[in-house]
Homo-oligomer: A and B are copies of this chain.
Amino acid sequence: MMQQDPSKILVDSTKRLLRRNANRHLKKIVNKTHAADLSVVFRSLSLSDQHRLFNMIESNEQKGILFSELEEDIFVDLVDQLQLEGIVEILETMATDDVADLLGRLPEEKADAILKKMKKEGSVEVEDLLSYEDDTAGGIMIPDFIALREDTTAAEAIASLQKEHQDVEMPFYLYAVDEYGKLVGVSSLRQLVVVPPQTPLKEFMTPNVFSVQTDMDQEEVAKIVARYDILAVPVVDATNRLVGIVTVDDVIDIFRKEATEDILRMAGAGEEFVETKSILKSTRIRLPWLFASCIGGIIAFFIINHFEGSLNKFVYLAAFIPVIMGMGGNIGTQSSTIVVRGLATGRLSIRDIWTVVIKELAVGCILGLVYGLLIGSVAQFRYTRTMLALTVGLAVISSMAIAALVGSLIPMAFARVNIDPAVATGPFVTTAMDILSVLFYFTIATVLLGI
């Protein structure tokens, strides 16, 4: 994970030029830089500077590409500064799926106002796309693809590429459809130039096409593309009519976004990136997740309170609280992380629930035994009271075994009822473990030490 940063120079020199009002230079930069890099520059500018730079971009196409590259927050704020007419002109240069994506980020009234102003044809297509759920195949597909009747010859197909399909973004595959528009086969662009010109599509197409339905979850779609190493997967409606394709570049974005969301959720840090947000916004997002841990801590407080009598007699019981809580918490995090990531990558499935949970329990028992012996020995060495050492050792074993069990069971159970297992992990598992560790520890102590 080495970090290089060629964009540092770009950001710094843009800022310097903005301070110096060097408009001619700035114009050159914004019109020559790739929109992906410009979006990084925009991230570190004030809204007014963003607006100023944006107006220096000459072509509406370039503005549209930048719209797509900007982060959601920045895009929404920037659009607020622009005239409705200007926005419409930019959107009309863009592919409909990107327009649908952008409009989905805006407040509803604003999106409606823009749609009304757009040319009829484009706006109908956009509205079609907006009708699919955001994170389904329908929501992420591109409606531009090449579909030809199965009796088209290779030569005719090439001719149609030259004439009709100039606007298709990424023509990797030619899809063959029957007279009802139903998907029957696929050919690569490469096969097209390799076969004799008069060969009809149906003779060289592959008749077994992987396809997905419009309502399939985007993560499932991404897994199919990754699994079969294909560049695009066709999307069909309930009647097997070809309605769009999902391309590999969107699949990369899905995987990266989902991985980030899972990681942040597991850490109880929301699900969106907060590091570019203001201190207050970032505080607000993180506050509620810590509340779970706070409530858990207060419950642990009342439990220990309940055992105040035992503590009064054996005050050194307190000294072992951190190590017992820590061991439980850490093994619980291991278990839940393995399960959450296993489910996300498809290497574990919810039907394995009992195999997984029992295995984790076994691992928890073994590791509990190892560390119970170790920490129990420390207790014996320090206090030479066998019953105390036994109490501490048993508390470590039970805390670690239960943590492995709870840590694997909770996300599995959540996944089974279709709740994102990543949400169930992190603060919740840790908090549950804190409470259980303390409860087991003091119960064992009370019984064994006869208090």
Residues in A lying within 8 Å of B, measured CB to CB? 1-5, 8, 34, 36, 158, 161-162, 166, 170-172, 189-190, 192-194, 217, 219-220, 225-229, 231, 248-249, 251-253, 255-256, 259-260, 262-264, 266-269, 273-276, 279-280, 282-283, 286-287, 289-290, 293-294, 296-298, 300-302, 304-305, 308, 311-312, 315-327, 329-331, 333-334, 336-351, 356, 359, 362-363, 366-367, 370-371, 374-375, 378, 382, 415, 418, 420-422, 426-427, 430-431, 434, 438
Contacts and interface: CB of A to CB of B under 8 A. Distances in A.
B249 A252 contact: no
A349 B8 contact: yes
Contacts of A346: 3
A273 B344 CA distance: 12
A330 B430 contact: yes
Nearest to A420: B1
Given A36-B227, A294-B327, A296-B326, 12 more contacts: A1-B421, A162-B194, A231-B249, A248-B252, A268-B333, A279-B363, A294-B323, A294-B374, A298-B378, A301-B323, A322-B438, A326-B434
Contacts of A334: 267-269, 286, 289-290
A256 B268 CA distance: 21
Nearest to A263: B341
A408 to B, nearest CB: 9
B431 A3 contact: no
A324 B305 contact: no
Contact of A275 (B347, B421, B426): B347
Contacts of A260: 341, 345
17 contacts: A1-B344, A166-B194, A170-B231, A229-B249, A263-B263, A266-B267, A267-B338, A268-B333, A275-B347, A275-B359, A290-B371, A293-B330, A294-B371, A304-B321, A305-B316, A326-B434, A329-B430
A253 B434 CA distance: 37
B322 A34 contact: no
Closest 10 interchain pairs by CB? A297-B323, A267-B337, A318-B318, A259-B259, A300-B322, A304-B319, A269-B334, A229-B249, A293-B330, A297-B326
A293 B1 contact: no
A321 B322 contact: yes
Contact of A367 (B36, B283, B317, B366): B283
B190 A367 contact: no
A266 B366 CA distance: 22
A301 B319 contact: yes
B171 A190 contact: yes
A385 to B, nearest CB: 14
A308 B315 contact: yes
A275 B338 contact: yes
A187 to B, nearest CB: 13
B326 A431 contact: yes
Nearest to A302: B319
A370 B294 CA distance: 11
Nearest to A301: B319
A103 B190 CA distance: 31
A363 to B, nearest CB: 5
A283 B334 CA distance: 11
A193 B161 contact: yes
Given A194-B161, A249-B248, A322-B321, A330 B300 contact: no
Contact of A315 (B189, B248, B315, B327): B315
